[in-house]
Chains A and B, each alone.
Chain A
C-alpha cells in the first residue's frame, strides 16, 4: 500500500489554507474569550450560596457539559432558527456551541479554584471590613485563578481543537478549507495530514509552556 506523497499541490493551494487558518484564529479568539470569561461568571454564580444565582448556573452547566459540542453547533444552526425565526450564520452557530460548552466546563474549574481557598482568607478579608464581593475580587479570585491556570490553559487548547467542529456548518476554517483542496485535487491524505500538522505545530509549544507553567506554580505555592 505505498503512497506517493505529494505536498506540492498543497503548497500551490497554500492561499486556500491560509484563509482557513485565519478563520480558525478568529473563531478561536472569540470562543476562548467568551468561554473562559463567561465561565468565570457562571462559576461564581455556581459558587455563591444563593438560590437565585446557583440554580440557573447549575442547570446551565449540566446542560452544556452533558451534550456534545457537535450537536450543539448543529442544533444552533438548523433547529434554533426554525424555533425562533432568528437567522443564525455558521460563525454564530459554531461560536455559540463552542463558547457555551467552554463556559460550562471552565465554570467548574473556577468553582473548584474558589473552593480550594482556605476559609481563613475569606475571614481575613471580612475582618478588615471587606464586603463579600470585595473579598472575592481582591483576595479570593486572584489566588484561585492562579491555582487553576494550568486547567484553564488545557481548556484553551481544547477550544483551539474544537474550532474544527465549525466545519460541520461550513464555517470557513482550516479543516473546511482542507476539505475543499482534497475534493478538488483528490488528495485527502496530504490535505488532512497537513491540517493535523498545523494543529500540532501550533499546540505542541503551547502544551510544553503549560508544563513549565505548572512547575513554576507548584514551586510558588
Chain B
C-alpha cells in the first residue's frame, strides 16, 4: 500500500435525506487507471466530486499519498478551506462541459492556475503551458480563444489546464459525453496517452471500449456503492452480478475508437 495515491474509506454523501454514496472504499495506486461505470444517477459524479472536495463528504476519510485530508477530531474529520484549495491543486479534474475561461486565450487558460494559485512566474508558467498544449496536440491553438475551438479541442485544452498544475491524480467526469461522436476519439486518445505516461487517473465514462483497452481496473457503481470491481477483460466479459450484466447489455456497442 506504499504507492497508494488516493485512498477512500467508508465515504458517504447525502443530499438532505437522499443518500447518494453509501460507503465507498477505494484505493487507487500510482500509475493506475481506474474506470468507473454505472447507470445514470448511481453516484459516479458525486464520488469524483467528493474526492476533490467540490462536494463535502458527509462521512468517511480520504487520504492523498497516505496523508489524511483534513484534521481528525475525535472520529469526525474537519476541513479548512485553505487546505482544500491546496489539495485541489494536486487533484486535477476535467468536466463534461469543459468550462474553459472564455475571456482568456488557450495559453492563458493553461497558465491561469499556475500563476494565480501556485504563484509561478509568468515565464515558467508559459513554458509549462506550452509543454502541456504540445502534449494534448494543440500547440498551434495557443493564441485562440475557446469560442473558436471544436468541442474536442476545448476538452483537450481543459485537460492541459489541469495537467499544468502537476497534479498527483486526474479525475475525468464523462469528458466525452458532450462531444459529437467523431470528436470522442481524439479526447480518448489523449487520456490514453496520459495512462501510458503513468498518470494516476479515475475515469468516469460510458465508453466501454476505453474501459476495456485502457483501464487497469473497472469499478461498477450501483446505488452509491461499488457493486463489482475487477480486471477489465474479466469483469466486462463476465460480470458477477445481474445489475452489471444489464448495464452492459444496455451498452451493447463496444466502441473502439483507437
Asked whether any CB of chain B lies closer than 8 Å to the CB of A215, the reply is no
Asked whether any CB of chain B lies closer than 8 Å to the CB of A83, the reply is no
A142 to B95, CA, bound (A): 22
A residues less than 8 Å from B82 (CB atoms)? 131
- Tell whether A127 pairs with B116 under 8 Å between CB atoms, given A139-B101, A142-B103: no
Q: Closest approach, in angstroms, between the C-beta of B51 and any C-beta of chain A?
A: 11
Asked whether any CB of chain B lies closer than 8 Å to the CB of A161, the reply is no
The one of B88, B158, B162, B165 in contact with A126, judged by C-beta atoms closer than 8 angstroms, is B88
- A126-B54 in contact (CB<8A): yes
18 cross-chain CB contacts under 8 A:
A118-B99, A120-B95, A121-B101, A123-B95, A123-B99, A124-B95, A124-B99, A124-B101, A126-B54, A128-B112, A128-B117, A128-B161, A129-B113, A130-B113, A131-B82, A134-B116, A134-B117, A138-B112
Q: Closest approach, in angstroms, between the C-beta of A105 and any C-beta of chain B?
A: 25
The one of B86, B88, B102, B103 in contact with A127, judged by C-beta atoms closer than 8 angstroms, is B88
- Tell whether A131 pairs with B95 under 8 Å between CB atoms, given A139-B101, A142-B103: no
Asked whether any CB of chain B lies closer than 8 Å to the CB of A70, the reply is no
- B100-A124 in contact (CB<8A): yes
A124 to B118, CA, bound (A): 15
- Which residues between 53 and 85 of chain B lie within 8 Å of chain A, taking CB atoms? 54, 81-82, 85
A120 to B146, CA, bound (A): 15
What is the interface residue range for chain A against chain B?
10 to 19
Q: Residues 167-178 of chain B: 1 if any A CB is under 8 Å from the residue's CB, otherwise 0?
A: 000000000000
Q: Which are the 3 A-B pairs with shortest beta-carbon distances? A: A128-B113, A129-B89, A124-B99
Asked whether any CB of chain A lies closer than 8 Å to the CB of B235, the reply is no
Q: Closest approach, in angstroms, between the C-beta of B125 and any C-beta of chain A?
A: 12
Asked whether any CB of chain A lies closer than 8 Å to the CB of B243, the reply is no
Nearest opposing residue in chain B for A146, CB measure: B103
- Tell whether A128 pairs with B88 under 8 Å between CB atoms, given A123-B54, A123-B95, A134-B117: yes
Q: Closest approach, in angstroms, between the C-beta of B15 and any C-beta of chain A?
A: 16
Asked whether any CB of chain A lies closer than 8 Å to the CB of B120, the reply is no
A139 to B115, CA, bound (A): 13
Asked whether any CB of chain A lies closer than 8 Å to the CB of B155, the reply is no
Instruction: Please give the residue numbers on chain B whose beta carbons come within 8 Å of chain A beta carbons, in ascending order.
Output: 52, 54, 81-82, 85-86, 88-89, 92-93, 95, 97, 99-103, 112-113, 116-118, 147, 158, 161-162, 165
- Which residues between 109 and 126 of chain A lie within 8 Å of chain B, taking CB atoms? 118, 120-121, 123-124, 126
Q: Closest approach, in angstroms, between the C-beta of B254 and any C-beta of chain A?
A: 31
Q: Closest approach, in angstroms, between the C-beta of B63 and any C-beta of chain A?
A: 19
Nearest opposing residue in chain A for B161, CB measure: A128
What does DSSP make chain A's interface, helix, strand, loop or mixed? helix
- Which residues between 193 and 221 of chain A lie within 8 Å of chain B, taking CB atoms? 220
Q: Closest approach, in angstroms, between the C-beta of B147 and any C-beta of chain A?
A: 8
Asked whether any CB of chain B lies closer than 8 Å to the CB of A143, the reply is yes
B residues less than 8 Å from A130 (CB atoms)? 85, 113, 116-117
- A127-B162 in contact (CB<8A): yes
- B52-A127 in contact (CB<8A): yes
B residues less than 8 Å from A124 (CB atoms)? 95, 99-101, 158
11 new A-B pairs (CB below 8 Å) besides A120-B97, A124-B158? Answer: A121-B101, A124-B95, A128-B112, A129-B118, A129-B165, A130-B116, A131-B82, A134-B117, A143-B101, A143-B103, A220-B147
Nearest opposing residue in chain B for A119, CB measure: B99
A118 to B103, CA, bound (A): 14
- Tell whether A129 pairs with B88 under 8 Å between CB atoms, given A123-B54, A134-B116, A146-B103: yes
Q: Closest approach, in angstroms, between the C-beta of A162 and any C-beta of chain B?
A: 31
- A127-B54 in contact (CB<8A): yes
Q: Closest approach, in angstroms, between the C-beta of B104 and any C-beta of chain A?
A: 9
A residues less than 8 Å from B158 (CB atoms)? 124
A120 to B54, CA, bound (A): 11
Q: Closest approach, in angstroms, between the C-beta of A113 and any C-beta of chain B?
A: 13
- A120-B102 in contact (CB<8A): no
A residues less than 8 Å from B112 (CB atoms)? 128, 138
A residues less than 8 Å from B88 (CB atoms)? 126-129
A residues less than 8 Å from B113 (CB atoms)? 128-130
B residues less than 8 Å from A127 (CB atoms)? 52, 54, 88, 92-93, 95, 162
Nearest opposing residue in chain B for A128, CB measure: B113
A138 to B113, CA, bound (A): 10
A95 to B101, CA, bound (A): 38
